[in-house]
Amino acid sequence: MSKIDFDPRCTPARPDLADIDLQGTIHATRYVTGERGRIGVACTGLYPQPDATQEMQTELLFGEAFNVLETTENWVWGQAMRDGYVGYLARTALSDMLEPDHWVSALRTPIFQWPDLKAPISGFLHRNSWVNVAETSDVYCDVGPGWVHKAHISALDVWAKDFINIALSYLHAPYVWGGRSSSGLDCSALVQNALFACGIKCLRDTDMQEETVGEKIAFDGDLSTLQRGDLLFWKGHVGIMAETDILLHANAYHMATALEPVDTAIARIQSTIGPVRTVRRLP
């Protein structure tokens, strides 16, 4: 049994309520079968309690599935189906929509009110949002909230090839704790988003990723052994080797997703949270 199993962050159980699938495994007063919903807004926060003034745990993007286990007047509690994260989100963030058949492959895409380049836009969808194409018109697709350009979406079986290039497209995006969109994200979301775009499953937080992503490789501090794409883990932080000597990471020091020499980053981070703990490499 791994440490991830029954982690409260990804186990849909409270003392008073749990997912029916956990009956006989985790004790709760009541077990329920969830109802599947999908996120109907560009992005929305997931919280540990039904209170948006609390620290945001993560964000869910348009079209992502959410298994609702409890509904109150303003909130739902349940589990995000993409990465398993459990929490509360605003009830108004959910909507009924068809099963997605495409994903937003551009960093972000404008939502046009009608299929025309000069049409007003009503907002943006972010990369890794899931959409259902209801209608097409020339080079635009109706995805529910409006029309997006065909060049900005891909079928669900067509994925990006290079997660490092995907991660680099977030360069200069603001650092936002718990964020997972092109408008702002944190270090582990940068990794998760880049891997999602390549069709690779990835858990949400750094400690989860440190145990599960790729293969752990030996690292004794010799920077010459690092390769492009290696993931460097500190306690509570992760970065991606964009080149053999350059680290890409969303971080609070720059308050952005930034590139910097890996030796500079390691020295600075060493003074605050300690040394590199783990290096992991994807095949």
The per-residue pLDDT for range 200-230, each reduced to its tens digit, is: 999 999 999 999 999 999 999 999 999 999 9
233/257 Cα distance (integer angstroms): 16
Whether residue 3 lies inside any domain: the answer is no
Sign of the CA dihedral with 11 first, then 19, 68, and 110 last: positive
Angle at CA 120, nearest 5°, toward 60 and 133? 50
Last residue of a domain, one of 48, 72, 95: 95
How far apart, in whole angstroms, are the C-alpha atoms of residue 171 and residue 211? 26
pLDDT digits (tens, 9 = 90+) for 102-154: 999 999 999 999 999 999 999 999 999 999 999 999 999 999 999 999 999 99
| Confidence (pLDDT) at 79 | 98
Q: Is residue 275 part of a domain?
A: yes
- Judge whether 143 lies within some domain: yes
Residues 182 and 268 in one domain: yes
Q: What pLDDT is stored for residue 2 in this prediction?
A: 46
Residue 69 lies in a domain: yes
Give a yes or no: residue 209 inside a domain: yes
Q: What is the pLDDT of residues 27-86, one digit of tens each?
A: 999 999 999 999 999 999 999 999 999 999 999 999 999 999 999 999 999 999 999 999
> Same structural domain for residues 195 and 215?
yes
Residues 29, 51: Cα–Cα separation, whole Å: 23
Residue 185 predicted with pLDDT over 90: yes
Mind listing the pLDDT tens digit for each residue in 254-267? 999 999 999 999 99
Going by the DSSP 8-state scheme, the letter that residue 22 receives in this structure is G
The number of folded domains in the chain is 3
Q: Among 49, 78, 95, give the residue marking a domain's end.
A: 95
Q: Give the pLDDT score at 1.
A: 38
pTM surpassing 0.75? yes
Judge whether 84 lies within some domain: yes
> What is the pLDDT, as a whole number, of residue 5?
65
Same domain, 50 and 116: no
Within this chain, do residues 47 and 107 fall inside the same structural domain, yes or no?
no
Per the domain annotation, does 205 fall within a domain?
A: yes
- Confirm whether 1 is domain-assigned: no
- Which amino acid would we find at residue 31? Y
| Res. 3: pLDDT tops 90 | no
- Show the domain range for 121: 102-155
CATH number at residue 202: 3.90.1720.10
Same-domain status, 43 and 134: no
Tell me: do 41 and 61 sit in the same domain: yes
